[in-house]
Amino acid sequence: MPDVVMNIILKKVGVQSVQVLRKVCRDLRNFIEEHKPESYIDQATLSIDLDSVHLGFPFNSIVVKYKKHEKGCRVICQKTYNTTEKILDNSDFLETALNDFKVIMKNQKNGVGFFNICFKLFSQDDIGDQELISTGFREKLEKSLQSWDHPVPVRRVIIGTVNQTEVMSILRYLDPKLLEDFEMSASRYVDSIPMEFDKILGTDHWKNLKTLKMSGLIVSVQLKHFFHLTTCSVFRKSLSGDELTELRNAFQGSTSLKSMEVTYQFLDKSGICNQLGQPTVTQDFLGTRIETWEVGVSPNTLRFTLVPKEKSYAFIIRKIPIQKTMPTRR
Q: What are the pLDDT digits (tens) for 266-282?
A: 888 888 888 888 999 99
Asked if 151 and 62 sit in the same domain, the reply is: yes
Is the pLDDT at 16 greater than 80? The verdict is no
Residue 130 pLDDT: 59
Question: What mean pLDDT is predicted for residues 235-260?
Answer: 86
Q: Are residues 16 and 95 in the same domain?
A: no
Is residue 200 scored above 90 in pLDDT?
A: yes
Predicted confidence at residue 197, as pLDDT, reads 93
69 in the same domain as 33: no
Percent of the chain with pLDDT over 90: 26
Q: Rounded mean pLDDT of 231-245? A: 88
Kindly state whether residue 286 falls inside one of the protein's structural domains. no
Return the pLDDT at 61: 64
Per-residue pLDDT at 259 exceeds 90 = yes
The answer to whether residues 83 and 198 belong to one domain is yes
Between 37 and 91, residue with greater pLDDT: 91
196 and 212 inside one domain: yes
Both 96 and 197 in one domain: the answer is yes
Residue 254 maps to a domain: no
Same domain for 8 and 68, yes or no, is no
pLDDT at 22 over 80: no
Residue 152 CA to residue 111 CA, distance in Å, equals 8
By residue range, what is the domain housing residue 132?
40-221
Q: Domain end: 203, 221, 239, which one?
A: 221
pLDDT confidence of residue 6: 83
Distance of CA 119 to the CA centre of its chain: 12
Whether residues 139 and 195 share a domain: the answer is yes
Residues 20 and 80 in one domain: no
Rounded-to-integer distance, Cα 123 and Cα 135, Å: 14
Looking at residue 106, its pLDDT comes to: 75
Residues contacting 207, CB < 8 A, separation 6+: 176, 228
Q: What is the pLDDT of residue 311?
A: 81
Task: Please check whether residue 307 lies inside any domain of the structure.
Answer: no
In-domain check, residue 263: no
pLDDT at 144 over 90: no
Q: Give me the number of domains the chain comprises.
A: 2
Q: Answer yes or no: do 19 and 78 share one domain.
A: no
Task: Tell me the average pLDDT of the chain.
Answer: 83
End residue of a domain, out of 171, 204, 221: 221
Residue 271 lies in a domain: no
Which pLDDT belongs to residue 81? 73
Position 123 pLDDT exceeds 60: no
In a domain, 150, yes or no: yes
| CA-closest candidate to residue 219, choices 269, 253, 256, 182 | 182
The last residue of a domain, from among 169, 186, 221: 221
Specify the pTM: 0.79
**Model confidence band, residue 190 (pLDDT cutoffs 50, 70, 90):** low
Q: With the CA atoms of 11, 12, 16 and 21 taken in that order, what torsion angle do they form, in degrees rounded to the nearest 10?
A: -70
Query: Are 108 and 207 in the same domain?
Result: yes
Determine the Cα–Cα distance for residues 217 and 235; give it in Å rounded to an integer: 6
Average pLDDT over residues 49-68: 80
Which has the higher per-residue pLDDT, 17 or 143?
A: 143
pLDDT digits (tens, 9 = 90+) for 263-320: 998 888 888 888 888 999 998 888 888 999 988 766 678 899 999 888 889 999 998 8
237: in domain: no
Is a pLDDT exceeding 70 seen at residue 136? Answer: yes
- Is residue 291 assigned to a domain? no
Residue 79 contacts residue 86 (beta carbons within 8 Å): no
- Clarify whether residues 160 and 77 are in a common domain: yes
In this predicted structure, what is the pLDDT of residue 36? Answer: 76
pLDDT digits (tens, 9 = 90+) for 92-102: 998 898 888 88
